Amino acid sequence: MHEIMPGRKRGIFFVVAVCAVFMQAGLWAGRKQTQNNFPDNTLVSSSKELIPFMKLDARPKIKEHPIPHLMAEAENNFRKLLSRQSKTLEEAVREYRRRYRRDPPRGFDHWWQFVKDNDVLMIDEYDAIAEDLAPFWELPADEVRRRADVAGSLPSIDLVRVRNGNATAVNVRTGSTEVSARARGFLSMIEKFQDRLPDVDFPINSMAEGRILVPWEQRMKLNESGKSFHSRILVHILTAIQGVSPHNSVGLYTSFRASSTTQRQTNQLLAQTHEFSFPESVSGNYSFCENPWAHYNQGHFFSDWRTVSVLFPVFSPAKASGYLDIRIPSHYYYAQTRRYTYGWDPVNLELKPTDHMETAWEQKSDKIFWRGASTGGGSSPPGFSANYQRHRFVRMASDDSTSNRTVVFADPPGSNNYVYVQVPTSALNEEMMDVAFVKVVDSFNYPGGIGALIRDHRFDDGGVNLGDHWRHKYLVDVDGMGYSGRFFSFLESDSAVMKATVYREFFEEWIQPWLHYIPLSPSYQEIYNIHSFFSGATRSALAAANSTALRLPPVKRRPVDGDRRLRRIARAGKQWKRTLGRRVDMEAYVYRLVLEYVRVSSEDREEWNFVL
């Protein structure tokens, strides 16, 4: 973690106050911005990604396509990341001290041996743990333990207890060992090293959504000594989601019932976002404080599960910006099940290196594929679900209107001569997209009820199994009620993953966008140009450009280099899952996390330091 110079702290507190004042206006600011039609291009791109256009003839052209640069930069960054990992215990200790300005926790040497014995590649990249635990360093250790004990009595939270080197899971409210799948998953993750842990309690969130959402004005009063958060956490808060009402027991973000006019204006704003801009990463750290209009367009803001407005040490599989949960690997990633695990044989109950439904690359469809339930957020207050992330994506991908989209492609195919044309949305969706709901969820909260939900969206009554996804080159992964539990299985397939999310997970430092997966903005607007780069122009796009490539057979219209690049992403994602996303990698993360948590909750924290 990097310290902020003391001279800047007064400025930081000033920004906190200013941000809080403006966030009281909440979505009003977003509404005003929408009405004035000020598109927010930061949602999909940084300014350096905007490629200058020039006219060389009657047809507009561009100088270069940004995707090859993004891919090359991603590969270079990841190679550097792997190469700089510590090679010895002594190096790991020095790097730990450099980053966090304290000694590692007791047991660090045993953790080191664990990662070396299991060929764990990530040795130093655990800033997420330091970030998640930083608020608890500002509390006395006995207070951390007391809050952990109280957290076990909260709704939808189980306790994993370690006593005398043996871990068990319990539901404190019922006194039963009938606990959530997430608690059972965490119990399994610590099994190999539970005998090295002292007596300690881990409160495990049984829900997918983050739970710890402390109003900003209370975050400055976390302890009686008046100390604030660690500076890095404070900076994170400044850019996090704000607008919490301290008087709202449910802890929902500030919002109001959107009228149909407001929702149409928001949709128009998204449609106006630059379609030829590409995000460098997914939007887990997207600033909703700076872009409050975006509150309309993510179901995360309307979760109906109770959040907790007091800092408790609660371990959760994911969290959005602004939440103070402690991240752990998802039980969906760790377990082996038919619905969430690539290569799982449910008959013989064994994991196979290749899923029995996997398809050869050449036989996969070029269409962008997604199936899922019509979830995506909570129902409190009702009336917002039309703009949840899944609903927006399904409507966009099945739009058969007469509107046009700007599409950029190489003409002739495979060349570096890129042109752009306006193409009917209906034609592009017919040629590029295979997106539909397969299950109706929460229809009574959709404006107009189930009839309107079915009328406004495409539904596939045939259903889909996990293995059916492997027939497609492009797999889209989007948030549901919380994070998506299918991401790891998609990565391990021989298909390329396109991902959009507002959630932050344990592996965010370990994975590289544009190398292991294709990042999507929350608007999804760039998806048509991503497809056009990798798979080439569709027939309607070639027709709009009056291209001579229309005379070529379909197989000749596909750019060979684009298809190879797409396959490279698919292979890199698969390699990442099998080398950095293994069960043992998750165990290594949790091992280091629990050592850190044991120290921060121990009476004499200095005694729990590891010194060579």
pLDDT digit string, tens, across residues 145-202: 999 999 999 999 999 999 999 999 999 988 888 999 999 999 999 999 999 999 999 9
Contacts of 295 (CB under 8 A, 6+ apart): 26, 27, 30, 243, 253, 255, 288, 301
3-state SS, residue 545: coil
Contacts of 271 (CB under 8 A, 6+ apart): 403, 525
Question: So what's the pLDDT on residue 167?
Answer: 97
Number of helices and strands (H, E) in the chain? 21, 18
Query: What CA–CA distance (Å, rounded) separates 85 from 80?
Result: 9
Contacts of 457 (CB under 8 A, 6+ apart): 374, 391, 394, 395, 398, 436, 437
Question: 356 burial class (0-12, 13-18, 19+ CB within 10 angstroms)?
Answer: exposed
* Residue 43 Cα distances to 168, 359, 551, 584, angstroms: 44, 35, 39, 35
The model's pTM: 0.84
**Cis peptide bond N-terminal to 381, omega within 30:** yes
Query: What CA–CA distance (Å, rounded) separates 503 from 489?
Result: 18
| Helix H or strand E segment including 458 | none
Edge to edge, the sheet with strand 200-205 lists 166-170, 157-163, 200-205, 315-316, 326-327
- Residues of the chain whose pLDDT is less than 70? 1-61, 220-274, 283-286, 304
Question: So what's the pLDDT on residue 516?
Answer: 98
Residue 571: what are its φ and ψ, rounded to 5°?
Answer: -70, -40
Query: What CA–CA distance (Å, rounded) separates 374 from 388?
Result: 9
| Helix H or strand E segment including 413 | none
Torsion of CA 238, 239, 241, 242, to 10 degrees: 30
Question: So what's the pLDDT on residue 462?
Answer: 81
Tokens of 115: 């990662």
Alpha helix stretches (DSSP H) within 225-367: 231-238, 260-272, 331-334
Query: What CA–CA distance (Å, rounded) separates 469 from 220?
Result: 47
Query: What CA–CA distance (Å, rounded) separates 562 from 274?
Result: 22
Tokens of 492: 């391990």
Tokens of 598: 């044991």
